[in-house]
């Protein structure tokens, strides 16, 4: 072996290990794309764990196909997404943590970009970037942009205007210091974790797309939007938000919008034409067997 090869191997060994967990349940149609997006990352030191909740579809077949390239995987009944993430994180040994839902993907170079920020910013507990909205078949529907934020801004404005969950990475030492996911939460556990991390560490925003967020009607945050909002408000109250807050105003705006007939909702989204509006329009058109709206 040449001296340059030895030096290269030693250099890779010095890079921090990144532990990524994918919680999954009956997402076999998307799971392979998620796994491949992690395994194809350019970063050399990734510990990848998949915690399946006992899926009844083809998820286990997919996992068996990639089992030799996974650090660990399981398919067993659990109490939900938060427990599945914690199960994986407790088994992990990396200095950087992330979780990637089984219908989302990492974009090329995402892990390498995130690690570079952690290495130059030792007080940083969270690194996050932009994201793309993807359709059911992986087509790009629009772009989501992150912004620099703080605990106060997160609490006031919510997570979605600043941080896209699949495009975020966490320093393992800081996460273990504030505690893992709250397993009593099923929709806003990432928001709760980010608020706890923002209290004790810096957060660094990268103006690059790091992940793809798949928009489809069976996604949990789409199918259970009302419960998601209620849990988000409970998390806000836990962290000191006032009852008459900007978040609560957004909730009542959502409730009012939800009362509008579906056709009118879609018409209003066409007028507004935000990135997520466009993604929802495309998802809705696909559900009804229509062409993507122009």
**How far is the C-alpha of 249 from the C-alpha of 260, rounded, in Å?**
17
Q: Are 174 and 197 a contacting pair, CB within 8 Å?
A: yes
Residues 6 or more apart in contact with residue 24 via CB below 8 angstroms: 31, 34, 50, 51, 52, 53, 55, 59, 84, 101, 102
Residues of the chain with pLDDT > 70, as a percent, come to 85
**How far is the C-alpha of 157 from the C-alpha of 161, rounded, in Å?**
7
Fold of the CATH domain 3-221: Spore Coat Polysaccharide Biosynthesis Protein SpsA; Chain A (3.90.550)
Residues 6 or more apart in contact with residue 221 via CB below 8 angstroms: 187, 228
112, two tokens: 């390498």
Pinpoint the alpha helices (H) of 158-244. Answer: 172-178, 189-200, 220-223, 225-238
pLDDT of residue 223: 45
pLDDT digits (tens, 9 = 90+) for 220-249: 444 457 888 899 999 999 999 887 778 888
pTM for this one?
0.86
pLDDT digits (tens, 9 = 90+) for 138-173: 889 889 999 999 999 999 999 999 999 999 999 999
Q: Residue holding tokens 């066409």? A: 270
Q: Are 107 and 212 a contacting pair, CB within 8 Å?
A: yes
Q: Are 120 and 209 a contacting pair, CB within 8 Å?
A: no
Q: Is 61 helix (H, G, I), strand (E, B) or coil?
A: helix
**How far is the C-alpha of 140 from the C-alpha of 243, rounded, in Å?**
38
The Cβ of residue 246 has, within 10 Å, a number of other Cβ atoms equal to: 14
DSSP per-residue codes, 63-76: HHHTGGGSSEEEE-
pLDDT of residue 272: 74
Find the range with the poorest average confidence among 56-65, 192-201, 203-212, 259-268: 259-268
30, two tokens: 């998307």
| Cα–Cα distance list, 68 to 73, 104, 174 (Å) | 10, 22, 30
pLDDT of residue 2: 47
Q: Are 137 and 75 a contacting pair, CB within 8 Å?
A: no
pLDDT digits (tens, 9 = 90+) for 48-66: 999 999 999 999 999 999 9
Residue 125: name the closest of 60, 199, 201, 56 by CA.
201
The residues spanned by each domain of the chain are 3-221
**How far is the C-alpha of 161 from the C-alpha of 293, rounded, in Å?**
25
């Amino acid at each position: 072996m040449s001296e340059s090869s030895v030096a290269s191997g030693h250099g890779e060994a010095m890079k921090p290990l990144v532990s990524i967990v994918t919680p999954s349940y009956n997402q076999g149609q998307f799971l392979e794309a998620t796994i491949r997006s992690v395994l194809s990352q350019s970063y050399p030191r990734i510990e990848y764990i998949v915690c399946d909740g006992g899926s009844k579809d083809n998820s286990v077949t997919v996992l068996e196909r990639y089992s030799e390239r996974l650090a660990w995987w399981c398919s067993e009944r659990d109490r939900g997404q938060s427990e599945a993430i914690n199960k994986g994180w407790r088994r992990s040994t990396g200095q950087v943590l992330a979780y990637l839902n089984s219908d989302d993907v990492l974009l090329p170079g995402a892990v390498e970009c995130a690690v570079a920020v952690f290495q130059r910013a030792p007080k940083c507990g969270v690194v996050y970037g932009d994201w793309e909205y993807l359709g059911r078949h992986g087509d790009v529907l629009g772009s989501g942009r992150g912004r620099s934020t703080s605990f106060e801004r997160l609490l006031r404005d919510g997570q979605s205007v600043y941080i896209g969950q699949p495009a975020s990475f966490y320093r393992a030492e800081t996460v273990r210091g504030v505690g893992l996911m709250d397993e009593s939460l099923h929709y806003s556990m990432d928001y709760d974790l980010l608020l706890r991390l923002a209290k004790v560490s810096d957060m660094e925003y990268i103006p690059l797309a790091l992940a793809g967020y798949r928009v489809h009607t069976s996604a949990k945050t789409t199918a259970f939007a009302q419960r998601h909002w209620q849990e988000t408000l409970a998390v806000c109250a836990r962290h000191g938000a006032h009852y008459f807050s900007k978040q609560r105003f957004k909730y009542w705006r959502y409730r009012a919008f939800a009362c509008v007939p579906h056709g009118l909702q879609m018409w209003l989204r066409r007028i507004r034409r935000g990135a997520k509006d466009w993604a929802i329009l495309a998802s809705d058109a696909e559900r009804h067997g229509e062409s993507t709206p122009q």
